[in-house]
């Protein structure tokens, strides 16, 4: 499956549309679409959309909103995963595009253009300011034969690592971080992370309900997690300073420690037309991690970098600290911050997803 991006730029109740009329052997020939293109090797989604908009329009994006993921599943061509964005702030002088004609179109006139049928579906979501969505579109030739809106998944965390882990297993979450003070009366590591993950799930659920953005006819999954490192029975959270990071790494080097991640899953459906918590699950996973001996200079160099400052135990196994890991026993993704194998299987078991 190839990865692409698409962006709709808006200003003064108008949308910038591209009429694909110039490109040879263009699968989109004659259609009106947004601006975008293929994600190149080593390029992030955001880097791609910014580059494509600049190349095709001459405009530099100043703001960017990630709105959804569209899976195109045709019978004749390679499948495509498109990352959908909008922007209402940009700069520069617009130039001609070598793939078609650019035109600012009144929002209420977009639906009268020659659009792909699947595009009409997700453009409606964009106009309605729908929350982040994942849509699958099945085509036979040029005909849309089915569309499926995937369950809305909310990650109660701003952690890019947890988001990336979920995206690796084709779960594309909306981010609604839990604003909670991480305090618990529990003392056992597994109980600590399970309690904190439950607090986060509850906080995000409350934010969702207060926002009024929960449509009762659409299922929702909330995923909340908390991770701690345990050394000699002592729980190590995120370091408050580089000196604290140095102390934590000093305690871990040359030894084996444990990483615990607690996860809480909330499943929301509807009851009498109102949102309702229909199921829930809380669990924790533990992974043992052994670290090679490190010199004081090595510890100091790592502790003084930015990498340890937002991570439990003051290290990230997926970063440069990986060179100091001798072995692990258990789930690697649990150490990164979310045991995605367990998460996926709990979701399957409780909701019957495939």
Cα–Cα distance list, 139 to 2, 68, 73, 299 (Å):
16, 19, 6, 55
Residue 272's pLDDT is 63
Cα–Cα distance list, 157 to 200, 225, 239, 266, 326 (Å):
8, 8, 18, 14, 29
Kindly report, residue by residue over 242-264, the tens digit of the pLDDT.
Answer: 999 999 999 999 999 999 999 99
Count of other CB atoms within 10 angstroms of residue 133: 20
Q: Does residue 12 have an active-site annotation?
A: no
Cα–Cα distance list, 242 to 17, 173, 294, 297, 316 (Å):
49, 32, 17, 14, 15
| Long-range Cβ pairs for the range 266-271 (8 Å, 24+) | 266/201, 266/205, 266/220, 266/221, 266/222, 266/224, 267/219, 267/220, 267/221, 267/350, 267/351, 268/205, 268/214, 268/219, 268/220, 268/221, 268/222, 269/219, 270/216, 270/217
Out of 71, 119, 226, 331, pick the active-site residue: 226
Residue 94 buriedness (CB in 10 A; 0-12 / 13-18 / 19+): middle
Q: Is the pLDDT of residue 167 over 80?
A: yes
DSSP code, position 218:
S
Diameter of the chain measured on Cα atoms: 68
Kindly report, residue by residue over 291-340, the tens digit of the pLDDT.
Answer: 999 999 999 999 999 999 988 899 999 999 999 999 999 999 999 999 99
Domains, in order of start, for the chain? 2-149 (3.90.79.10), 152-351 (3.90.950.10)
Kindly report, residue by residue over 171-223, the tens digit of the pLDDT.
Answer: 999 999 998 888 889 899 999 999 999 999 999 999 988 877 665 566 889 99
Which residues fall within 8 angstroms of residue 210, CB to CB, at 6 or more apart? none
What is d(CA 78, CA 256) in angstroms, rounded to the nearest whole number?
46
Contact 205/136 with Cβ under 8 angstroms? Answer: no
Q: Which of 107, 111, 10, 3 is nearest to 53 (CA)?
A: 10
Kindly report, residue by residue over 34-78, the tens digit of the pLDDT.
Answer: 999 999 999 999 999 999 999 999 999 999 999 999 999 988 888
The C-alpha angle 237, 225, 311, rounded to 5 degrees, equals 30
What is d(CA 184, CA 70) in angstroms, rounded to the nearest whole number?
40
| 332 strand-pairing partners | none
Which residues fall within 8 angstroms of residue 73, CB to CB, at 6 or more apart? 79, 136, 137, 138, 139
Residue 217's pLDDT is 61
Beta strands in the chain (DSSP E): 2-11, 14-19, 32-33, 35-38, 60-61, 65-74, 80-87, 90-91, 101-106, 133-140, 143-149, 152-155, 174-175, 220-231, 234-236, 256-271, 274-291, 325-329
Residue 76's pLDDT is 81
What is d(CA 168, CA 193) in angstroms, rounded to the nearest whole number?
23
């Amino acid at each position: 499956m190839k990865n692409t991006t698409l962006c709709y730029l808006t200003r003064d109740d108008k949308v910038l549309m591209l009429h694909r009329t110039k490109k040879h052997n263009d699968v989109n020939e004659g259609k009106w679409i947004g601006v975008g293109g293929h994600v190149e090797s080593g390029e992030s989604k955001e880097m791609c959309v910014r580059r494509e908009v600049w190349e095709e329009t001459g405009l530099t994006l100043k703001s960017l909103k990630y709105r959804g993921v569209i899976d195109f599943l045709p019978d004749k061509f390679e499948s495509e995963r498109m990352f959908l964005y909008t922007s209402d702030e940009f700069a520069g002088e617009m130039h001609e595009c070598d793939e078609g004609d650019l035109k600012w179109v009144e929002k209420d006139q977009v639906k009268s253009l020659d659009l792909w049928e699947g595009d009409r579906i997700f453009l409606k979501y964009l106009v309605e300011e729908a929350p982040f969505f994942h849509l699958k579109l099945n085509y036979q030739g040029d005909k849309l034969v089915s569309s499926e809106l995937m369950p809305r998944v909310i990650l109660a965390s701003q952690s890019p690592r947890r988001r990336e882990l979920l995206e690796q297993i084709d779960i594309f979450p909306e981010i609604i971080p839990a604003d909670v003070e991480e305090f618990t009366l529990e003392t056992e590591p597994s109980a600590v992370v399970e309690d904190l993950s439950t607090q986060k799930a509850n906080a995000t659920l409350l934010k969702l309900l207060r926002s009024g953005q929960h449509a009762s006819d659409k299922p929702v999954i909330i995923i909340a997690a908390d991770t701690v490192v345990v050394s000699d029975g002592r729980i190590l959270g995120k370091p408050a300073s580089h000196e604290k990071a140095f102390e934590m790494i000093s305690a871990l080097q040359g030894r084996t420690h444990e990483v615990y991640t607690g996860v809480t899953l909330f499943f929301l459906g509807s009851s009498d037309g109102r949102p309702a918590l229909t199921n829930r699950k809380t669990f924790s996973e533990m992974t043992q991690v052994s670290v090679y001996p490190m010199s004081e200079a090595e510890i100091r160099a790592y502790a003084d970098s930015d990498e340890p400052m937002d991570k439990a135990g003051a290290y990230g196994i997926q970063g440069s600290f990986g060179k100091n890991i001798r072995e692990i026993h258990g789930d690697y993704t649990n150490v990164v911050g979310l045991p995605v194998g367990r998460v996926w299987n709990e979701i399957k078991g409780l909701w019957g997803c495939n």
